[in-house]
Chain A
């Protein structure tokens, strides 16, 4: 099996995410043993953000890292594990509400492909970039 970064790089709908993770110097972290649960926004999710948002974040790496680490949770949490809780705490520190009552929703995003296992954790692909607050 491959680690979280390798899986994202090999898939072709994570171009923006991979670029952002590289820019934010989070590659080594996400290649470490972890384990991590990553809610990975696909390219369409990034495309929904209003213009300028990404440009400002890429100019400001600590702020970009903060947004990206909000998408990461410590531990390997499969959909079945997440179904038992209402909320998980991200690596950034803010809570992420989880709703599995009707489909599989993470905050205001819907999981379009869940439980993609990696060596050092699991990836759930989401259709929106999630934001703290």
Chain B
């Protein structure tokens, strides 16, 4: 053992976000630890978890059952079988019980599917009246993951292998068995069909990712209601532990055709939740996504959109939430979904600020942004735990390695669009 414990403190950081870095080094979050922040983020996790409970079920339904249906008119009409599908991380028969509640669809979700914002009527009328969960948002997230590709993990490279194409081929032929038109098209344009299957594999990937996050957020809301979280760092640490606990769950794509299961991506490939779903998701959705049609010009001469995908910075951590509710701002779909499931304490809080109920969509959007900075903090701390050193390490070389890692992460928020500066103050709402 070295005896120079008192000498081990490293000099303060000179980074632009030094105060945030020091907070992370002390075991905190990028989001300041105030009771108001804690109340906001937990409330919004709860409001997010209910539509997410629909998203993951429908994503898996589309990947496993709708599959290559050329006219998928009813892909958002979740059959009872998928509403009753047991979440692997909730209920009595869970693989690892994260939420103490039920494994089937959340009661608030079932009530919304039945009544919506209006009254009880057939699903089709709710759908046509746009009184529904905005599933297009989940598909936009899936598309971001599909399109950005190459963000680490082995899932994406696997989609280009001959093994994958052979697995997809078996399923395509089985699905269109007895349909000479589609089989003929497949013979003419095989890549078109394979690419559709790749997209469906990403439906499965994202569905399996959110199957974990929904019970995590439900449980956090319950713990908060019981008085269990003392501050923002507690809430972040719950997420860090959740990330580790579930890191090894398999990521796969199974398709069910006429009662038979086709393993397009078998569980035996060893793909894992952490590497093949969670980290690519964070990169694709929190950081990159794609430029909002309502705020950026895609004009090639204007050069507003970067040439390199790695430079994309249109995720929730950079988003300007103020125009939510106007045309060309995709997160509006999610904000609208969350609006239906806000806890009472959050509604009361929004009534007291800004324009009260009139701009609640924007207020909750900014709360959502705060909460996603906390989730990103959890991911950063989890990566630090997995790949680097404990925060109380006594070796200065190790502490410097942690420091460099945190600084490199904060470098991504130096650009002017990043909202890290804004969320430090409660005036941003």
Which A residues fall within an 8 A CB radius of B?
A: 49-53, 55-57, 59-60, 62-67, 93, 102, 107-108, 131-133
CB-based contact A55/B96 at 8 Å? yes
Interface residues of B in 400-418 (CB under 8 A from A): none
Q: A60-B249, A62-B250, A131-B386 are in contact. Are A53 and B270 (CB under 8 A)?
A: no
Interface residues of B in 244-288 (CB under 8 A from A): 244-250, 267-272, 275, 279
CB-based contact A50/B248 at 8 Å? no
Which residues of the other chain, B, contact A53 by a CB distance below 8 angstroms?
244-245, 247-248
Q: A50-B245, A51-B245, A62-B250 are in contact. List 16 more A-B contacts (CB 8 A).
A: A51-B241, A52-B244, A53-B247, A56-B246, A59-B95, A59-B248, A60-B248, A60-B250, A60-B267, A63-B248, A65-B270, A93-B154, A102-B397, A131-B386, A131-B387, A132-B275
Interface core residue of B270, B275, B387 (most chain A CB under 10 Å): B270
Partner of B240, one of A50, A57, A93: A50
CB-based contact A108/B387 at 8 Å? yes
CB of B388 within 8 A of chain A? yes
Partner of B386, one of A56, A59, A62, A133: A133
Pairs across A and B, CB under 8 Å, 15 listed: A50-B241, A52-B241, A52-B244, A52-B245, A52-B246, A55-B245, A56-B95, A56-B248, A59-B95, A59-B248, A60-B267, A62-B267, A65-B270, A66-B270, A107-B387
CB of B389 within 8 A of chain A? yes
Interchain nearest-CB distance for B88 vs A (Å): 10
Interchain nearest-CB distance for A112 vs B (Å): 13
CB of B383 within 8 A of chain A? yes
In the complex, the chain B residue whose C-beta lies closest to that of A132 is B275
Partner of B275, one of A52, A62, A133: A133
CB of B328 within 8 A of chain A? no
In the complex, the chain A residue whose C-beta lies closest to that of B243 is A50
Interface core residue of A52, A63, A102, A132 (most chain B CB under 10 Å): A63
B interface residues, tally (CB under 8 Å): 28
Interchain nearest-CB distance for B107 vs A (Å): 26
Interchain nearest-CB distance for B32 vs A (Å): 25
CA distance A47 to B146 in the complex (A): 37
Which residues of the other chain, B, contact A60 by a CB distance below 8 angstroms?
248-250, 267
CB of B152 within 8 A of chain A? yes
Interface core residue of B240, B248, B250, B271 (most chain A CB under 10 Å): B248
The 0/1 profile, CB within 8 Å of A marked 1, for residues 225-254 of chain B is 000000000000000110011111110000
CA distance A107 to B383 in the complex (A): 13
Which residues of the other chain, B, contact A56 by a CB distance below 8 angstroms?
95-96, 245-249
CB-based contact B250/A133 at 8 Å? no
CB-based contact A63/B250 at 8 Å? yes
In the complex, the chain A residue whose C-beta lies closest to that of B247 is A53
In the complex, the chain A residue whose C-beta lies closest to that of B246 is A56
Which residues of the other chain, A, contact B383 by a CB distance below 8 angstroms?
133
Interchain nearest-CB distance for B16 vs A (Å): 26
Interface core residue of A66, A93, A107 (most chain B CB under 10 Å): A66
- What are the nearest 10 A-B pairs in CB distance? A52-B245, A62-B270, A50-B244, A66-B270, A57-B248, A63-B248, A56-B248, A131-B386, A62-B268, A50-B241
Interchain nearest-CB distance for B155 vs A (Å): 13
CA distance A113 to B387 in the complex (A): 21
Which residues of the other chain, A, contact B240 by a CB distance below 8 angstroms?
50
CA distance A81 to B176 in the complex (A): 57
CA distance A102 to B386 in the complex (A): 21
In the complex, the chain A residue whose C-beta lies closest to that of B152 is A133
CB-based contact A67/B248 at 8 Å? yes
Interface residues of B in 79-125 (CB under 8 A from A): 95-96
Q: A63-B272, A133-B275 are in contact. Are A108 and B244 (CB under 8 A)?
A: no
